[in-house]
Amino acid sequence: MTASISTVDLPATASAPALSTPPLVTDAPGRGIIASVSAHMATLPTLYELANQPIEQISPLVRRQYLGGTQTTFVKWMVKKGGTFALHHHSYEQITWIIEGRCEVYSQGKKFIMAAGTVLVIPPNVPHEFICTEDTIDIDFFAPARQDWLDGARSAAAAR
């Protein structure tokens, strides 16, 4: 984890600005177009720089950055050794990818050891809890989008 990352105190709905100007986004006439679809869509993809997303301090050991799409939520968790996500369940499918560190996940009477490079798919409404046994970076994808967080609900990692 980078020491230069600073934590900001912003509401969960705060987001870094989208990147929409050259050199990152430029015209490409005729590319990425399907005539029968594109003619009916005014929507463009949105490009963000994750490093510019606000960092929320969820608990003393857990921080997060997240972006929401129309149907999914992307989360980068930065967890110090000993950080936990208490036993919980939610209506969202969750795909967890550990890119650094190690966690123990408990679900349905089983213990899953996750280390860098492993991915766990958690179906909707399945109880689960995480204990990070090393400093960890965890990337999560949720579907559908986490409207509960946008509405101010607390994360399972929040100190209780």
Helix (H, G, I), strand (E, B) or coil at 74: strand
Query: What structural domains does the chain harbor?
Result: 54-150 (2.60.120.10)
What pLDDT is stored for residue 145 in this prediction? 92
Residue 144 tokens read as: 């559908």
Q: In this predicted model, what pLDDT tens digit does every residue of 29-44 receive, in sequence order?
A: 989 989 888 888 878 8
Assess whether pLDDT exceeds 50 at residue 13. no
The pTM (predicted TM-score) of the whole model is 0.84
Which is higher by pLDDT, 4 or 56? 56
Alpha carbon dihedral 123, 151, 86, 54, in 10-degree steps, equals 100
Q: In this predicted model, what pLDDT tens digit does every residue of 125-147 receive, in sequence order?
A: 999 999 999 999 999 999 999 98
| Omega cis (within 30) before 23 | yes
